[in-house]
Structure 1
Amino acid sequence: MKKILLLYIFSVFQLSIHAQLAEKIELTPNNELLGLGKQYILKSEVLNEERPVIISLPVGYDDSQANYPVIYVLDGLGNIKHTIGTIELLTESGLISPLIVVGIESLDRSRDLTPSNAGQDAYGGVGNVGIPQSGGAPKFLRFLSKELIPYIEANYRTHPYRILEGHSFGGLFSVFTLMDSPGLFDAFIVEAPALWWNKEEMTTKAKTFFKSNETLNKTIYFGIGGGDGWGMRQELIRYVDVIKENTPKNFKWFHEEVGDEDHDASRLLLNYYGLRFLFSDLKIGEDLINNFNDKAFLKAEQGLMDKYGVKTRRPAGVYVDLVSGLLKNGNTLGAITVLKRASETYPNYIGLFTYLAKLYEKTDQKNKAIETYLQGVEISKKYKLGQEEDLQKEIDRLRKTQN
């Protein structure tokens, strides 16, 4: 029976994957697909100008009362397409929590994203004249903290967890924000940051910042394309070397060079790997696997929901792997606890329900098995999976044994 159930794991999980259909995307009157969010114009008193932002809500936002973490994406107009697509894919797979995306459009990135004025001795391709309008990052950061973030949190159901993502000058601004206002964001995705700025002044500042912060409860991904050139890769290495020398407690960070992409082409991959790293705690810890008990498992699940919001879930495969291990150890009741949680978080995965029904039957809980099979029938009907007849046979068989 145990071998049959373990073989059943693979087949139902594959069926679960195929149960997923793409969510409908709203159409314009001209049949153009939407799905990238809506643009809003904020009148900023701090910047004394109108600032466009793109706000994209997660799938299911209007159908629940849940609160969602927010990711603020710099250079939002240029990055919104691949960012939304990546986030939706990772969310569907349970690899990250659902997120509200705020894309901050750039009007003058050389002004807004640079922490200081670039004079004639600046380097990094600015020539001898510098960049006259540069050095506006402190003001732009005030716009974020005093106007944009309060606007988002007043108008949308937000969870306290905030992420800032930036590439190139945006990465420079992200590093500046971490060290200038460390309490504003919980996590950062820093992509190919322009740390050459003004003779690597951010790296100089980092030597004091990380020494003076013994504890820093932040998660940061530092990524760069393997084909990026002068002014980027070595400068980033020198910055993270400072972190290695003085790593604060509770500071979770990772640095990597990805593929052979150049400066601009790396953005899609870095966004993907950055999100994966930020939410890497959605994996099951070894201690929970080796010393499983229902209470500890459910407490860990609740901890993730407290951190990222009630819609947070682990990848379906993580739950199935845990169930497989528990069954190998003869812990069928523990496997049921995990599978109940999995089916709650993946209500469209028919395989999780049919697998759970098998375990209910194995433990002589026939009424629950029948009820769970019935849920599977409804899922099969909804997604046209063609499993209704087989599931009904299981229901009829169990009902006969009750007579």
Structure 2
Amino acid sequence: MKAKLIKHIILITIVVLSCHQSNAQLANKIEMTEDYQLLGLGTQHKIQSDILKEERPVIISLPVGYHDNQAEYPVLYVLDGLQNIKHTVGTVELLTESGLIPPIIVVGIESLDRNRDFTPSKAGEDLQGSTGNSGIPQSGGAPKFLEFLSEELIPFVDNNYRTHPYRILEGHSFGGLFSVYTLMENPELFDAFIIQSPALWWNKEEMTEKAKTFFKSNRILNKTVYFGIGGGDGWGMQQELIRYVDVVKQYQPKNFRWLHEEVGDEGHMASRLLLNYNGLKFLFSDLKLNEDLISNFSDNSFLDAEEQLKTKYGNMARRPAEDYFNLVSVLVNKENDLEAITVLKKASEAYPMYIGLLTQLAKLYEKTNQKEKAIDTYLLGVEVSKRYKLGQEDDLQKEIEKLRKN
């Protein structure tokens, strides 16, 4: 029994390594212009806003494979979009490839006057960062900007792209202030928030005062919120965010999933990439397999959980590949081969480029006397190997011939 267990562990390890070695560096093509400029960040649209009385540019980045299916995708709305589009799109693609987040549409909203658009109230003459005379005279435009999002931008995106209802708002500094304002002013507009280094010092921490009423009156709040800040951020940020979070702790609404963390020693501007990465991972952390599903595994509970994720985040949602591997390892070690087949079928659908998943699935079909299914799976593996130049066609063909002779 011990020798069989060791054999199973070695087999799973080989499959995991082969999958990562064969597929980890496979890159999707990026569109290139005639003069060899790489694209890939998205397409700029200009929206004539009747609410703001101006033309508003936005950058829309579609996930890889968008035009190859009819799936609907969650949407991430990023404030200061021109400033943040490069690192955001790169992070989204990396996390999507890893299965840590589902494929999403990114909408970068370019800033024209962030002092106006992101501030919820007029600033007085004693405002930090002002000249000391009249404060910031154009401030207080957040209500109109929120109306623009709700009545013009989001309908534009929903009408022109295949969007899933799940929406995220992400903002840094003044954009974080606006995100906090939006959470409390129109909580139904977004399902989740990535709030980075928010300028909660604004007008003597008025958002924190508002939070005391908001969270007290909203005892159930089906939202996910990441509050992140760099460990080296300075005056007006860290302690102010802590005081806001203390209000959340005091009232702790039911179903309100949230995290507050200070990251590294990055300052105010340098922290954005890390906060975007950590925030996205936290929002979609329920894609990770939980211990209860593993320890009390059944085909029905597993398949139900998979469908719940697709309902919440769209049909392209999937778990991290490592989670599928680990679950298969547990089931094989328990000699629950048919249940392992159920997981591998889902995993190979989610990661069609991972030939090791097909190889392990074919071996389990063979082990459970399902010869024709094993052959079909090996044949599919041959196609995948050819398509992505993995060089495993001959080995797979040998397995097919062995099965056909028996």
**Residue type of the alignment partner of 2:22:** A
Separation in structure 2 between the aligned mates of residue 7 and residue 369 of structure 1, nearest angstrom: 21
Aligned residue in 2 for 1:237: 242
Separation in structure 1 between the aligned mates of residue 21 and residue 147 of structure 2, nearest angstrom: 46
The one of 370, 378, 382 equivalent to 1:373 is 378
**Residue type of the alignment partner of 2:293:** L
**Residue type of the alignment partner of 2:47:** L
Separation in structure 1 between the aligned mates of residue 286 and residue 247 of structure 2, nearest angstrom: 25
Separation in structure 1 between the aligned mates of residue 396 and residue 333 of structure 2, nearest angstrom: 26
Separation in structure 1 between the aligned mates of residue 345 and residue 6 of structure 2, nearest angstrom: 21
**Residue type of the alignment partner of 2:125:** Q
The one of 6, 12, 15 equivalent to 2:15 is 12
Aligned residues: 400
**Which deviations, in whole Å up to 9, do the C-alpha atoms of 1:313-346 show, x marking residues without a partner?**
0011000101111112221111110011000110
Task: State yes or no: 1:189 paired with 2:194.
Answer: yes
Paired residues of 2:8 and 2:333 also in contact (CA < 8 A): no
Separation in structure 2 between the aligned mates of residue 275 and residue 398 of structure 1, nearest angstrom: 45
Separation in structure 2 between the aligned mates of residue 381 and residue 339 of structure 1, nearest angstrom: 21
Displacement of 1:350: 0.2
Aligned residue in 2 for 1:347: 352
Paired residues of 1:68 and 1:159 also in contact (CA < 8 A): yes
Aligned residue in 1 for 2:336: 331
Aligned residue in 1 for 2:389: 384
> Mean alpha-carbon deviation: is it higher for 323-332 or for 238-247?
323-332
Aligned residue in 2 for 1:308: 313
Which SS does the other structure have where 1:6 is aligned? Answer: helix
Separation in structure 1 between the aligned mates of residue 233 and residue 379 of structure 2, nearest angstrom: 55
Mark the runs of 5 or more structure 1 residues left unpaired by the alignment.
none
Aligned residue in 1 for 2:82: 77
The within-5 A match list for 1:251-330 is 251-330=256-335
Separation in structure 2 between the aligned mates of residue 2 and residue 377 of structure 1, nearest angstrom: 29
The one of 115, 123, 132 equivalent to 1:128 is 132
Separation in structure 1 between the aligned mates of residue 30 and residue 127 of structure 2, nearest angstrom: 47
Paired residues of 2:362 and 2:377 also in contact (CA < 8 A): yes
Separation in structure 2 between the aligned mates of residue 242 and residue 351 of structure 1, nearest angstrom: 49
Which SS does the other structure have where 2:222 is aligned? Answer: strand
**Residue type of the alignment partner of 1:206:** A
**Which deviations, in whole Å up to 9, do the C-alpha atoms of 1:202-227 show, x marking residues without a partner?**
00000000000010000000000001
Separation in structure 2 between the aligned mates of residue 171 and residue 308 of structure 1, nearest angstrom: 24
**Residue type of the alignment partner of 2:31:** E
> Mean alpha-carbon deviation: is it higher for 306-315 or for 389-398?
389-398
Displacement of 1:2: 4.4
Which SS does the other structure have where 1:326 is aligned? Answer: helix
Displacement of 1:12: 1.7
Which SS does the other structure have where 1:120 is aligned? Answer: coil
> Mean alpha-carbon deviation: is it higher for 381-390 or for 63-72?
381-390
**Residue type of the alignment partner of 1:290:** S
Separation in structure 2 between the aligned mates of residue 112 and residue 73 of structure 1, nearest angstrom: 14
Paired residues of 2:294 and 2:327 also in contact (CA < 8 A): yes
Task: State yes or no: 1:228 paired with 2:228.
Answer: no
Aligned residue in 2 for 1:40: 45
Displacement of 1:19: 3.1
Separation in structure 1 between the aligned mates of residue 263 and residue 345 of structure 2, nearest angstrom: 38
Separation in structure 1 between the aligned mates of residue 322 and residue 344 of structure 2, nearest angstrom: 11
Which SS does the other structure have where 1:216 is aligned? Answer: coil
Separation in structure 1 between the aligned mates of residue 13 and residue 384 of structure 2, nearest angstrom: 19
Aligned residue in 2 for 1:399: 404
Separation in structure 1 between the aligned mates of residue 159 and residue 244 of structure 2, nearest angstrom: 36
Separation in structure 2 between the aligned mates of residue 126 and residue 209 of structure 1, nearest angstrom: 29
The within-5 A match list for 1:45-194 is 45-123=50-128, 125-129=129-133, 130-194=135-199
**Residue type of the alignment partner of 1:295:** N
Displacement of 1:6: 2.4
Which SS does the other structure have where 2:87 is aligned? Answer: helix
Which SS does the other structure have where 2:221 is aligned? Answer: strand
**Residue type of the alignment partner of 2:43:** K
| Runs of 4 or more above 3 Å deviation | none
Task: State yes or no: 1:3 paired with 2:6.
Answer: yes
The within-5 A match list for 1:201-220 is 201-220=206-225
**Which deviations, in whole Å up to 9, do the C-alpha atoms of 1:173-205 show, x marking residues without a partner?**
000000000000000000000000000000000
RMSD, matched Cα: 0.9
**Which deviations, in whole Å up to 9, do the C-alpha atoms of 1:104-123 show, x marking residues without a partner?**
00000000000001111323
**Residue type of the alignment partner of 1:110:** N
**Residue type of the alignment partner of 1:59:** V
Paired residues of 2:358 and 2:381 also in contact (CA < 8 A): yes
> Mean alpha-carbon deviation: is it higher for 240-249 or for 386-395?
386-395
Which SS does the other structure have where 1:35 is aligned? Answer: coil
Normalised by the length of structure 1, the TM-score is 0.98
Paired residues of 1:19 and 1:383 also in contact (CA < 8 A): no
